[in-house]
Amino acid sequence: MTERKTSAMPVQVQMLSKHFGAVRAVDDVTFDIRPGELLTLLGPSGSGKTTLLMMIAGFSRPTQGSIRIAGQEIVHLPPHRRNIGMVFQNYALFPHMTVGENVAYPLRLRKFGRSEVEERTRRALDMVQLAGYDTRRINELSGGQRQRIALARAIVFEPRVLLMDEPLSALDKHLREAMQIEIRQLHDRLGMTTISVTHDQREALTMSDRIAVFSNGRLAQIGTPTELYEKPESRFIAEFIGESTFLPLKPTPRGLAYGDQPVRLAEELPASGGDSLLMLRPERLRLVAPGSETGSGEEANLFQGQVRTVVFQGESLLFEVVLDGGHKVSVRMANRSENLRQLPRAGDRVALRLERADARIVRAEGRA
Residue 191 lies in a domain: yes
Q: Which residues pair with 186 in a beta bridge?
A: none
Q: SS3 of 2, please?
A: coil
173 and 285 part of one domain: no
Output the domain CATH number for residue 145. 3.40.50.300
Question: Does 297 lie in the same domain as 182?
Answer: no
Helix (H, G, I), strand (E, B), or coil: what is residue 92?
coil
* Short-list 141, 65, 61, CA closest to 100: 141
Could you tell me whether strands 300-312 and 286-288 are parallel, antiparallel, or unpaired per DSSP bridges? unpaired
- Same structural domain for residues 134 and 94? yes
Residue 140 placed within a domain: yes
Residue 225 lies in a domain: yes
Which among 235, 261, 278 is the end of a domain? 235
Report the distance separating Cα 175 and Cα 208, nearest Å: 18
Is residue 304 in some structural domain?
yes
Nearest alpha carbon to residue 45 among 197, 199, 196, 171: 199
Q: Whole-angstrom Cα distance, residue 142 to residue 336?
A: 37
- Distance CA(318)–CA(331), nearest Å, equals 6
Closest CA to 169 of 195, 213, 135, 203: 203
Supply the CATH number for residue 251's domain. 2.40.50.140
Indicate if 146 and 275 belong to the same structural domain: no
Residue at which a domain ends, from 235, 258, 280? 235
Q: DSSP letter at 171?
A: S
Q: Are residues 129 and 246 in the same domain?
A: no
142 occurs within a structural domain: yes
> Contact 203/170 with Cβ under 8 angstroms?
no
Q: Find the domain containing 45 and state its range.
A: 11-235
- Number of Cα atoms under 13 Å in the Cβ half of residue 235: 16
Assess whether 224 and 266 both reside in one domain.
no
> Which pLDDT score is estimated for 136?
95
Count of structural domains, the chain: 2
Q: Are residues 95 and 130 in the same domain?
A: yes
Cβ atoms of 243 and 235 within 8 Å: the answer is no
Beta carbons within 8 Å of 317's beta carbon, 6+ residues apart: 310, 311, 332, 333, 335, 339, 343
| Residue 196 sits in the same domain as residue 263 | no
How does strand 84-87 pair with strand 161-165?
A: parallel
The size of the chain, in residues, is 368
User: Quick one: pLDDT at residue 368?
Assistant: 41
CB atoms within 10 A of CB 237: 27
Mean pLDDT for back-to-back runs of 10 residues, the chain (368 residues): 62 97 96 96 94 97 97 95 92 92 94 94 93 93 91 93 91 88 91 94 95 96 96 92 93 89 80 77 91 62 95 91 95 78 87 93 68
pLDDT at 367: 45
Per-residue 3-state assignment (H helix, E strand, C coil) for 291-319: CCCHHHCCCEEEEEEEEEEEEECCCEEEE
Buried b or exposed e, range 87-101, using 16+ CB within 10 angstroms: beeebebeeeebbbe
118 & 207 share domain: yes
Q: Residue 169's pLDDT is what?
A: 86
pLDDT 10s digits, 117-134: 999 999 999 999 999 999
- Enter the DSSP assignment of 128: T
Cα–Cα distance measured from residue 120 to residue 204, given in angstroms and rounded to the nearest whole number: 30
171 contacts 146 by C-beta, under 8 angstroms = no
**What is the distance between the alpha carbons of residues 232 and 88, in angstroms, rounded to a whole number?**
30
β-bridge pairing 84-87 and 38-42: unpaired
Q: What is the pLDDT of residue 295?
A: 47
Does 327 share its domain with 209? no
pLDDT at 91: 86
Is residue 145 in a domain?
yes
Indicate whether 6 belongs to any domain: no
pLDDT attached to residue 1? 52
Cα 96 to Cα 14: distance, rounded to the nearest angstrom: 41
Q: Where are the beta strands (DSSP E) in 21-160?
A: 23-33, 38-42, 64-69, 72-73, 84-87
Q: What is the pLDDT of residue 108?
A: 94
122 shares a domain with 58: yes
Q: CA–CA distance from 334 to each of 85, 89, 337, 339, 368 (Å)? A: 42, 35, 9, 7, 30
Is the same domain home to 47 and 182?
yes
> Of 218, 235, 252, which residue constitutes the final position of a domain?
235
* Residue 117 belongs to a domain: yes
